[in-house]
A and B are shown apart, each in its own frame.
Chain A
């Protein structure tokens, strides 16, 4: 049966590793998460302009938080990629603001909402695949603006200054890119 085959895929996916770490503190699942995410996280941070040693520290900090907060991961609400991304984002912000107060965006605040149901982990994987395809098809100008926003956490006015573009152009590229991505997400549902 098709559903059964798809479920097998889900069980081997990062979503299942996160659930196993959350439920049982499973070291083997954590190793799988480490092998999958650590090099990507490092690449993500290095692309964002961190030097490799600093990126190493940050990656470890992210993975510690993944371990500690895995219990609050809900595969019905986000794919593993998305959840780890939000942890990485919050970790980078927290490290940058270490000396200042901050109590808003811990990962279990879970800003991302989503539908509920038994096969939603599968669904979020389909969405991720649809999104990836849509991102690849974006015109270069739109993709570059999004990459700068995400990898480098640049505000749109900083991107405009860097790229020598009017702010209005950068804003409309983000808007256009998101319209396309929204269509892709709709199609993945």
Chain B
């Protein structure tokens, strides 16, 4: 793995400042990246110290009232991690299992929607903030040149692609600013990616405008 989320993004994740879709991308990357896990652990430790140093403000609720509330609460059942999937990291499997109508059986079982030859997509339900979409690209596919109204975050799940920022493979994350018009070429084996972005893409070619009509539906 060669492309990691920026330090700023990891700190924002650890402090709880990222929207749902971004959180999902980072959580998936972390599962595959011990380096960034250590980084996030350090950022969380900073949070721990911040909490410890927070000014003490007395609570208006007493302990006995809280104890009465918790003793009836059963301990959380141990959640076994989902069965490993060759394409989707556990946070994504969990999300797919809880939000899709059909049981999760892997990449082939998702309700992929045809966009253009070589590109299929599935919208992923996420909370407020940028939308999240899973993409399945065929080998050699080149998305039409386009820009975005906001920042875009891509996580490669399997296969890969290449653009002017380098070669991206499973686990790699690419952050792109809104104004960065980019061209990609998918690897010969194709590519499955989770893309979080602010809204409909803005194509810069007629073919792209055609794609956009399908892709935003």
Contacts and interface: CB of A to CB of B under 8 A. Distances in A.
Interface of A: 25, 27, 30-31, 34-35, 37-44, 46-47, 52-53, 55-56, 59-60, 63-64, 67-72, 78-86, 88-90, 92-93, 97, 100-106, 108-109, 111-114, 124, 127-128, 131-132, 135, 146-147, 149-151, 153-156, 171, 174-175, 178, 181-182, 185
11 contacts: A27-B67, A42-B59, A43-B56, A44-B54, A78-B45, A89-B47, A103-B98, A132-B49, A135-B46, A153-B15, A185-B45
B76 A78 contact: no
Contact of B45 (A128, A155, A171): A128
A43 B60 CA distance: 13
Interface of B is mostly: helix
Contact of B12 (A97, A149, A181): A149
Contacts of B76: 68-69, 71-72, 108
A100 B126 CA distance: 7
A68 B45 contact: no
Contacts of B30: 111
A135 B70 CA distance: 35
Given A105-B27, A174-B8, A100 B63 contact: no
Contact of A40 (B40, B51, B98): B51
Given A40-B56, A85-B48, A149 B38 contact: no
Contacts of B27: 104-105, 109, 111
Contacts of B38: 113
B44 A78 contact: yes
Contacts, number: 211
A53 B85 CA distance: 44
A38 B58 CA distance: 8
B86 interface: no
Contacts of A90: 16
A78 B40 CA distance: 12
B102 interface: no
Given A56-B59, A68-B75, A155-B17, 17 more contacts: A27-B67, A27-B71, A37-B51, A39-B56, A78-B41, A82-B41, A85-B51, A88-B51, A103-B95, A104-B24, A108-B79, A109-B91, A112-B41, A135-B50, A150-B47, A151-B54, A153-B16
Nearest to A98: B127
Q: Which of B43, B51, B56 has the most CB of A within 10 A?
A: B51
Chain B interface size, as a band, is 35 or more
A111 B51 contact: no
A41 B63 CA distance: 14
